[in-house]
Amino acid sequence: MKKNKDEVKIVILTRDLVDIAYGFYMQNVNHFREERKNFYDAFFEGPDERENTLLTDYKKIASIGSEIKKWMARYPIEDILVIDNKELREDNEKVIEKVLNFLEIENVNLPSVVANESFSVKTKLIASIMRSRYSVVVGNQLKKIFGRNNLEWAISLKKSLYLKKSKRKDLSDFERNKIRTELQSEYLILDEIRSVYE
């Protein structure tokens, strides 16, 4: 990007800062990088020293306003477009048109996209693959990798691969507001950045 600074166009999609931090926390839980069972506590305790501190510093992860300001200091403002996720959800066609105009791409006919908010499998092909011999194939691969002596360990690993992901527990209004207050300066920076694009 440094070499082609004059040709760079940057599109940044933001969303609510609490949701960014919480989403990252859930990703860490599901990938066994986070042992703390409560996001609210993990947020205020700070990074987990046993893990990569960057991955578990949820306050820093949510500080995207400060990060965007760094980009705005390096690149001309007319080469950066900041879009809010809420705007995308409310009128995705308008946002796509805005992005295409920003990138100086001729408007193309794109099909309307509807988010899969249920996170369920919508495609018959994918559903049939998931019901297929996939688990048998994984088991056979594990046997090859670990051999007969470690078969029990391989089976337990296979089972852990199929564990249901941790369910997202909604934050209480109190918790969400307390975290929002902690991130108040970042919200103000984001409001300032968004006002540039109004």
Q: Which of 39, 66, 56 is nearest to 185 (CA)?
A: 66
Domains of the chain plus CATH, in order, are 5-110+167-196 (3.40.50.300)
Model confidence at 111, in pLDDT bands (50, 70, 90)?
low
- pTM confidence score: 0.66
Q: Which DSSP string do the residues of 24-54 spell out, in sequence order?
A: HHHHHHHTT----S-HHHHHHH---TTS-HH
* Angle, CA 150 vertex, CA 147 and CA 154 arms, to 5°: 90
* Mean pLDDT of all residues belonging to the chain: 76
pLDDT (tens digit per residue) in 40-61: 999 999 887 766 677 789 999 9
* d(C-alpha 99, C-alpha 12), whole Å: 10
**180 close to 172: Cβ distance less than 8 angstroms:** no
Lowest mean pLDDT segment, chosen from 31-35, 75-79, 117-121, 179-183: 117-121
Angle (CA) 18 72 92, round 5°: 55
Residue-level pLDDT at 97:
85
Q: In what helix (H) or strand (E) does residue 84 lie, and over which residues does it extend? A: strand 80-84
How many helices (H) and strands (E) the chain has is answered by 12, 2
**Predicted confidence band at 7 (pLDDT cuts at 50, 70, 90)?**
confident
Q: What are phi and psi of 118, to 5 degrees?
A: -80, -15
Who contacts 34 (Cβ-Cβ below 8 Å, separation ≥6)?
25, 28, 42, 48, 51, 56
Please tell me the distance from the alpha carbon of residue 16 to that of residue 170, in angstroms, as a whole number.
14
Residue 31 has pLDDT above 60, yes or no: yes
Summarised one tens digit per residue, pLDDT across range 114-172 is 555 554 545 554 444 444 444 455 555 545 555 555 555 545 554 454 444 555 677 89
Q: Looking at residue 163, what is its pLDDT?
A: 46
Q: For position 44, what pLDDT does the model report?
A: 94
In the prediction, which pLDDT does 12 show?
92
